[in-house]
Structure 1
Amino acid sequence: MLKFLGTVSLLFVLILVGFSSLGHAEDNEIRIKLIDVKGNRKIDRATILSKISLKEGDLFSPAQIREDVKTLYRLGYFDRVDVETEGFEGGLAMTFSVHEKPLLIDVVYEGNEHLDKDKLKEKVPIKTQTFLDTEEINTYVEKIKKAYEAEAYYSAEVTPIIQRVSEDQALLTFLIKEGDRAYVRQIRMRGNQTFTDKELRKQIETSKYFWLTSWMTESGRYKAETIDGDVDRLREFYLNHGYLQVQVAPPKVDLSEDKQWFDITFPIVEGDQFKVKEIHYEGNQLFDTDRLVELTKSKEGEIFNRGQVRQDIVSMVDLYGERGYIFANVVPQLNPHLEDKTVDITFQVAEDDPVKVREIRITGNDKTRDKVIRREVRVNEGELINTKLLRRSFQRLNNLNFFENIEIVPEQVEKGWVDLNVKLKEKPTGTFSIGGGYSSVDRFIATTEITQGNLFGRGQLVRAKAEIGGRRKTYSLTFREPYLFDTNVSETTDLFNSVRSFNSYEEKRVGGDLIFGRQFGEYVSASVSYTLETLNIRNVQDQAPDLIKEQAKLGKTLTSALGFSLARDTRDFIFDPKEGSRNSISFEYAGTFLGGDNDYYKVIVDSSRYFPLWWEHVLSVHGRFGYAIGIAGKELPAGERFFVGGINTVRGFKFGKAGPVTDTGEILGGNKQLFFNVEYLIPLVPEAKIKWLFFYDLGRAFDDSEAIRFSQLRQGAGFGLRWISPIGPLRIEMGKNLNPEPGENTGFIPEFSIGTLF
């Protein structure tokens, strides 16, 4: 810029010299007689002239020319602006000679492996088909480096190269040397007296590098925003243990010379521990103090816990919210006594007024019909709003699995009234999948499935599925109407055709189920079912169990059965629960009086419970008991027996091996089963719903002549991965038999399945 202004100044001198030969104009005034532009290609002449403040007829002004040159530079179109002058018609002809910047036609990245082109474009947006601003290139370089630092590449080098492809076009290339990713080597605490470094490290999200997991997870990475959160997490931990005066300063972060390792030190001043002295309540009129005391888990004489105080506030606000007081507010006032290290807590309640729902507004449901959504919303127009029912409405909408985002937002429209805004973002509900894999039960297996979970936006489900494996072929068709004729009754129809091969025989089943269910309140449901199927035991080998040989003699038999089930389900999200439980009991009766050949009854009791823990970890406990027996002098059909062992019962055992077997190793199945499963799930890739899990299983199937004995239950344990995919849970697990008997596998047994959970 200074170079160009110097050029302009030189021209001014030449101008003055030139004018001495023109004679003196009146009053020594020099006027501009002509203004022109040259050198422009993309920017038209009129646009440039409109930005120049000097006009033809104006007095010559060196200062104003300098300002006009600056104005043209600020447009961002030119990398050079010169001013040329010559005498003209008793005045001055002035020409602005411009040189346009090249047009940026593309941006190319070379050497980028860990951040693809699309990611870099998202982080560093650079517009093409615009004039290339060379002064901005350094800014782009710094943004690219910041993008790499966000992924823990602190030694990344970025070199910009401008390549002219023509006189007025350029290509911008960034040569990138990524270097190695930096990890956290050490995490230290300084000043902690009460808690060890190890205890405090468990409270923060930043973790040290671990060679086994850091390469495929984000563990061990340094992230500035995570560090900021860790300061708050450490402070919260101390406050939850009574340290009201704790101070946690921003950590000292040291990067090694090779930019490969971070050492982090958190400075802590603990202060003294405080106990709760007195708890008071102010402003409560709707509920008496005794009712609020019942909800308050913070107790006088106990260590102060800020997390518990927050939970107490949530409980009180929920109590008011269930009565329509959704704008009620509870603020805790703390009054510490330094002399005896105690603190008084006063819960100040601002009740406000009860609120009713004026209108329920639903947006974002481009496909799903309004009635499908409204029947899941548990709050009605004209009624008092209820925060408990709002949470339940969210759960029910989420359990439809039609939406990727759900917001239920009360909006006050006038005193005492709100509109309930249900904001939805739909996701695809139809899937077509073709896949294959290996199942520990069925060996190699190929699957094809077409599912539409929201048929025509009516909330109906239809599914066609085929599975072909080394030991099993299954074809099934399912239709489900959750609200039959807009009533609280559901209807499900299943048709199936399956062939399963065992070591010494083959079992073919063809039939269908018709199921009617009904909700009773929010969490309880009941159903009645009718099953009609044919069972054929065929291709029986000599080593087959006697039970199988006897049933094979009967040929093709018909089962006609009635069933009844009762369940209570409080899970927060049925496809991937984090809390709640599901308990059920089912009964099935098959008899000749229903037109079949087989007579038996079967009872199954099933229970699952989910416990949310820290960092989105979940502990689940599951148990199942089953009992079946043939009646009217008939044996229990082989297909109705219980086979324990395998991915859905006791892992670490092959299918049916945790139960009765013959001397030759053929599985018999039992008429009784009892097994338990404990799982600990840890998020691995939360956004993709991929989790680690560790499990312990205990169980066995028992033959007709055996009594259930806990001492005979088999044990398995192991680990695995679970992905809640669009077509169902995909499970890859490794189980080990913890108490192998002679001849049994002592190593880990791989397990694989898709589409089922316990």
Structure 2
Amino acid sequence: MRYIFFIGIVILTFCIADEKNEIVFKSVEIIGNKNIELEVVEDAIDVSRGSIFAFWKDKTPRINSRLIKTLPQTLKNFYDSEGYYDAEFMIGENNNSIRILIDEKEPIKVASIDITSDFDISNFIFNKENSVFRSKEFIESKKQIIDKLLNDGYCSYDLDAKAYIDLEKHRADLVYNLKKGDICTFGETVIKGAEGIDNNVILSRVEALNGKRFNIQSVKDTYQRIEDLEAFDTVLVNADRKIYNVVPIDITLKMLENPYYFSGGIGYDSFAGVRVGAQLVKRNFFSNAQKLTLTGKYSMKDKVLDFDFFRPAILYYDGYYLDFGLNAGYSDVEYKGFGEEKEYIKGFMAYQFDRLLLKGGMGIENVNIYDLGTIDPDITYGTYVLNYPFLQVIYDARDDRLNPKNGYYFAGYLEYGMPYNTNSSDYTKFEFEARGIYTYKEITFSTVGKIGTIEEISGYVPESKLFFGGGMFSNRAYGYNELGTIASPTEFLKSGALSMANLSCEINFPIKNDIYGAVFTDNTMLSDTSYNFNGEIISSAGFGIRYITPVGPLKIDIGSNINDVSQFSIQFQLGQSF
């Protein structure tokens, strides 16, 4: 019911917006374009076909009447950029519509490409001989050559790229002259504005280290890692100065004016009923970019009170540092076949450099697995004391964390439950995850594979510690952690699994502007035996919509079991899962 209500509000909002905008729109007809697709021309002059949510309405292309006066120049600029400098346009207009007749005429074609360079730039020449000369391809070519030089450490390059256009002969001659220069290195880091924060805290986030070979990605990573401290209103990282082939890094910071952040919300779902949640964050807690977070959640199915403390660079020596984190709290959560009441505390030390993150620590949990009025013979109830060291390793080579288009990601997790008394559990838990993302002509192919296993050495591992499936990061035909041990392609138990494997594949494709479509398949294996990855598999497939936002994609997915289409689920998420 919540999902239907949400979708209804979205549709109503888009439809109301359409009704308001339609008043100043006129229908438009474009004819005569032979070499450039109609949709491309329409996008260039800002033609709209109405909201995709108002599916019952006429999809006649329309244009805002305020733009009609500028149409001749807009069309001229667009066709010039596409290489059709002689194109002519006739525009007719009445009270309700306009008609555009295009005569593209002969285009400018690339007659020659002359390259003189001591650096290989062949992969960045997008204009080809005998093809239509497009200025945007030439501009993009220069941009990517410069990006490649900077990422390879050549900040003293000399690039002279010109396109000589002969309008009478309809030809373009392209000339690239490049001297890469000497290799550059980063210089000293200068920090300004870090009031009340030790310079070592800031330096622990600097990837552009003194003496390291220059590359622009290290400058971007430095900015992002300082921004992630959440201790500043403004972060500026400049690499504009150059002393011979040495580039100093200038970091200018502005401290937070309001270090407190509060958020709260109320929601509803069919499993838990009304949900209430709140979070209070104190940033720069007692200075040095420390952060304290208090989180509370309440519903009829789960109650959570969580405390989190983070101290960056608690230890720092000769360019190496360790962060410290502490997490503690209480939770009472109902699963499908049991309830879990837990008190927990976990501390860790972490080190990150470049794309590698190492995290290790110790956790203690007091877990009570209780029945919900009905005893399930597949579930072991009781109280467990867990005392475990853990290690996590992550290598993230994606080009963007919020909305990656290319790259890969690896993560491994190892946990060992130590039997320090008769009530404790002795076990090992291992998980591994690999992601791959590749984009070709705006179509993004993504895949993520996960495996995990638990070995019970002595005693029992509490049910909530086992593997479950379902949800946005697992099998999207089912709700979060709904899947227990799988018995067949359509059946599963309420009890958790000792071994897990999951493979998800997804294709994202553009629809319009920041709206993307997606098709996907999820395949989940959950078995009741350690190191057993040959169990039954539940496979699902589905489709979704993504809206790109500054904080990551807003996703709506509908997934269904391919062997039982009556089993489906609707998933909502803000953020990336690949």
Q: TM-score, normalised by structure 2?
A: 0.75
Quick check: 2:471–2:478 contact (8 Å CA) kept in 1?
A: yes
Quick check: 1:630–1:636 contact (8 Å CA) kept in 2?
A: no
1:431 deviates by 1.5
Look up the match of 1:472.
302
SS at match of 2:468: coil
SS at match of 1:458: coil
Q: Distance in 1 between matches of 2:455 and 2:245?
A: 64
Whether 2:523 is the aligned partner of 1:699: answer: yes
Quick check: 2:415–2:430 contact (8 Å CA) kept in 1?
A: yes
Amino acid at match of 2:361: S
Look up the match of 2:428.
601
Quick check: 1:626–1:674 contact (8 Å CA) kept in 2?
A: yes
User: What does 1:503-542 correspond to in 2, within 5 Å?
Assistant: 503-519=336-352, 521-542=353-374
Quick check: 1:334–1:343 contact (8 Å CA) kept in 2?
A: yes
User: What does 1:502-581 correspond to in 2, within 5 Å?
Assistant: 502-519=335-352, 521-542=353-374, 544=376, 546-548=377-379, 551-552=380-381, 555-571=382-398, 574-575=401-402, 577=404, 580-581=407-408
Change in Cα spacing, 1:181 to 1:665, as seen in structure 2 (3 Å) is: same
Quick check: 2:204–2:321 contact (8 Å CA) kept in 1?
A: no
SS at match of 1:485: strand
Look up the match of 1:628.
453
1:196 deviates by 3.2
Quick check: 1:185–1:208 contact (8 Å CA) kept in 2?
A: no
Look up the match of 1:483.
313
Q: Distance in 1 between matches of 2:21 and 2:171?
A: 54
1:471 deviates by 1.4
Quick check: 1:561–1:594 contact (8 Å CA) kept in 2?
A: no
Change in Cα spacing, 1:270 to 1:489, as seen in structure 2 (3 Å) is: farther
Whether 2:504 is the aligned partner of 1:676: answer: yes
Change in Cα spacing, 1:500 to 1:412, as seen in structure 2 (3 Å) is: closer
Amino acid at match of 2:455: G
User: What does 1:35-50 correspond to in 2, within 5 Å?
Assistant: none
Quick check: 1:292–1:316 contact (8 Å CA) kept in 2?
A: no
1:473 deviates by 1.2
1:697 deviates by 4.0
Q: Distance in 1 between matches of 2:84 and 2:406?
A: 34
Quick check: 2:425–2:459 contact (8 Å CA) kept in 1?
A: yes
Look up the match of 2:51.
210
Amino acid at match of 2:558: G
Query: What per-residue deviation string (whole Å, max 9, x for no partner) do you get for residues 652-707 of structure 1?
Result: 32334455368997523333131315374879998xxxx77645241223222696
Q: Distance in 2 between matches of 1:207 and 1:734?
A: 26
Quick check: 1:206–1:230 contact (8 Å CA) kept in 2?
A: no
SS at match of 1:391: helix
User: What does 1:119-518 correspond to in 2, within 5 Å?
Assistant: 181-183=23-25, 185-186=27-28, 188=30, 190-198=31-39, 200-201=41-42, 206-210=47-51, 212=53, 222=64, 224=67, 232=77, 235-236=80-81, 238=82, 244-247=83-86, 252=91, 254=93, 257=95, 263=98, 265=100, 267=102, 269=104, 271-272=106-107, 274=109, 277-281=112-116, 288=118, 291-293=119-121, 296-298=124-126, 303=131, 307=136, 309-318=138-147, 320-321=149-150, 326=155, 328-334=157-163, 344-349=173-178, 371-379=200-208, 386-401=215-230, 406-411=235-240, 420-423=249-252, 430-439=260-269, 442-486=272-316, 487-518=320-351
Quick check: 2:486–2:493 contact (8 Å CA) kept in 1?
A: yes
Q: Distance in 2 between matches of 1:310 and 1:609?
A: 30
1:186 deviates by 2.8
Aligned length: 546
Query: What per-residue deviation string (whole Å, max 9, x for no partner) do you get for residues 5-24 of structure 1?
Result: xxxxxxxxxxxxxxxxxxxx
Quick check: 1:505–1:538 contact (8 Å CA) kept in 2?
A: yes
Change in Cα spacing, 1:395 to 1:543, as seen in structure 2 (3 Å) is: same
Amino acid at match of 2:397: T
Change in Cα spacing, 1:626 to 1:531, as seen in structure 2 (3 Å) is: farther
Q: Distance in 2 between matches of 1:517 and 1:683?
A: 41
Amino acid at match of 2:330: N
Change in Cα spacing, 1:738 to 1:539, as seen in structure 2 (3 Å) is: closer
Identity of aligned residues (%): 13
Q: Distance in 2 between matches of 1:348 and 1:721?
A: 42
Quick check: 2:155–2:245 contact (8 Å CA) kept in 1?
A: no
1:445 deviates by 1.2
Look up the match of 2:3.
none
1:564 deviates by 1.8
Q: Distance in 2 between matches of 1:462 and 1:724?
A: 27
Q: State the superposition RMSD in angstroms.
A: 4.8
1:234 deviates by 5.6
Normalized per residue, which structure has more strand? 2
User: What does 1:645-684 correspond to in 2, within 5 Å?
Assistant: 645-658=470-483, 660=485, 667-670=494-497, 671-676=499-504, 678=506, 680=508
Query: What per-residue deviation string (whole Å, max 9, x for no partner) do you get for residues 422-443 of structure 1?
Result: 4556665631122111246644
Query: What per-residue deviation string (whole Å, max 9, x for no partner) do you get for residues 387-407 of structure 1?
Result: 343333334334445566654
Look up the match of 1:19.
none
SS at match of 2:409: strand
Amino acid at match of 2:378: L
Quick check: 2:444–2:509 contact (8 Å CA) kept in 1?
A: yes
1:466 deviates by 0.9
Q: Distance in 1 between matches of 2:128 and 2:555?
A: 49
Amino acid at match of 1:328: Y
Whether 2:563 is the aligned partner of 1:735: answer: no
Quick check: 1:624–1:674 contact (8 Å CA) kept in 2?
A: yes
Which structure 2 residue ranges, 5 or more long, are not aligned? 1-16
Amino acid at match of 1:482: P
Change in Cα spacing, 1:598 to 1:445, as seen in structure 2 (3 Å) is: same
Q: Distance in 2 between matches of 1:734 and 1:318?
A: 36
Quick check: 1:336–1:344 contact (8 Å CA) kept in 2?
A: yes
Query: What per-residue deviation string (whole Å, max 9, x for no partner) do you get for residues 270-304 of structure 1?
Result: 524735644321xx5xxx3xx32465455876846
Change in Cα spacing, 1:714 to 1:414, as seen in structure 2 (3 Å) is: closer
User: What does 1:715-754 correspond to in 2, within 5 Å?
Assistant: 715-719=540-544, 733-739=556-562, 741=564, 744-745=566-567, 749-752=569-572
SS at match of 1:597: coil
Higher alpha-carbon Rg: 1
Quick check: 1:364–1:426 contact (8 Å CA) kept in 2?
A: yes
Change in Cα spacing, 1:708 to 1:322, as seen in structure 2 (3 Å) is: closer
Amino acid at match of 2:37: T
Q: Distance in 2 between matches of 1:623 and 1:401?
A: 30
SS at match of 2:415: strand
Q: Distance in 2 between matches of 1:475 and 1:415?
A: 56
Amino acid at match of 1:644: G
1:631 deviates by 2.8
Quick check: 1:356–1:382 contact (8 Å CA) kept in 2?
A: yes
Q: Distance in 2 between matches of 1:249 and 1:430?
A: 60
Change in Cα spacing, 1:666 to 1:232, as seen in structure 2 (3 Å) is: farther
Change in Cα spacing, 1:560 to 1:420, as seen in structure 2 (3 Å) is: closer
Query: What per-residue deviation string (whole Å, max 9, x for no partner) do you get for residues 451-484 of structure 1?
Result: 2344355222221111112311111111122312
SS at match of 2:467: coil
Q: Distance in 2 between matches of 1:363 and 1:315?
A: 32
Whether 2:470 is the aligned partner of 1:637: answer: no
Look up the match of 2:411.
584
Look up the match of 2:6.
none
Q: Distance in 1 between matches of 2:240 and 2:180?
A: 18
Amino acid at match of 1:394: Y
Normalized per residue, which structure has more helix? 1
Q: Distance in 2 between matches of 1:440 and 1:276?
A: 66
